[in-house]
Amino acid sequence: MFEGEALGLRALGAAGGVKVPTVHHFGDDGAGGSYIIMEKLNIGGRPDMQAFGRAMAQMHLADPEDPNAKKGMFGFAVDNTIGGTPQLNPWTDDWVTFFREHRIGYQVKRAGRPELTAIWSKVLDKTDGLRTLFTDGPIRPSVLHGDLWTGNYGGSPEGAAIFDPAAYYGHHEAEWGMSWCASFGEDFWEGYREVIPEAPLFRKREPLYEAYHKLNHYNLFGGGYLGDAEYLLRQLTFD
C-alpha cells in the first residue's frame, strides 16, 4: 500500500519548492504487509504562510518529472488512495475527461445514491460534460499533493513541509478542494497569487473541486457530507 505514497512523495520532492520527506525504502515485508522508511521531519507549528503559498505555486509550475506528464497527460504512475478510498490514476490526455470519470464520477458511483446520481447527470448536461467550466485557457499537468489539509502540512527548520499525499498530475486548482479544512488564510493566498494569478473561471470551478473531497468524505464517513456535496454540485448548474 505504500508504493503510491512513496512515488507521490518522490514526485513532489522532484518538483521542489516545498520540503517533502525523502523516501529511503519501501516494499513488501514478506509477511503479507508492506513498509516505508522515510526521513523524519521536525514539524513544529504553522509555517510562514505567505512563503508557503509561493512555494506551492512554484511546485505547481515545475516541469513534470514523469514522461507521461511531460507529454501533457494527467494521472499518475500508479493508483493510490485518498484517505481509505482507492484513487484511480490512469493516464488520460484530457483533464476534463480525467476529472469527470476518475474523480467525481467514480465517487458518485461509489456512493450509489439515486438523487446524487441525478444531480451529477444534470451537471453534465448543463456544462457539456464539464467543458463549459474550462473555457478560460489551456491546462497543463502540475504535480499535486492531492489531500492538502491542516494535518498534512506544517513548519520545519527548512520551511513549509507537506506529507501524506494522494499525489497525481492534474490541474493546479484541484489542489484546493480541501481548503475548507486547511486554514490557509489571506497570507497564503497572497503568496500563491504572486506567482500564479487567479484564472477567470476559478470561482466557478471551486465547487467542483471541493465536491470531490466532500463526496470522498461521505463515502468514508457518511453523514452530512452527502448534502454538502449535492449543494456544491447544484452550484455548477447555475448560470
Q: Which residues form the catalytic set?
A: 147
How far is residue 184's CA from residue 77's CA, in Å, rounded to a whole number? Answer: 29
Enter the C-alpha cell of residue 161.
Answer: 513541509
How far is residue 78's CA from residue 4's CA, in Å, rounded to a whole number? Answer: 6
* Residue where the block lists cell 486554514: 183
Query: Residue 194: how many CB atoms within 10 A of its CB?
Result: 12
Enter the C-alpha cell of residue 122.
Answer: 444534470
Q: 159's torsion region: left (phi>0), alpha (psi -120 to 50) or beta? A: left
Residue type present at position 226: L
Three-state SS at 117: helix
- Candidates 221, 49, 77, 82; CA nearest to 150 is 49
Neighbour-count burial of 142, counting CB atoms closer than 10 A to its CB (0-12 exposed, 13-18 middle, 19+ buried): buried
How far is residue 53's CA from residue 182's CA, in Å, rounded to a whole number? Answer: 12
- Candidates 172, 126, 122; CA nearest to 145 is 172
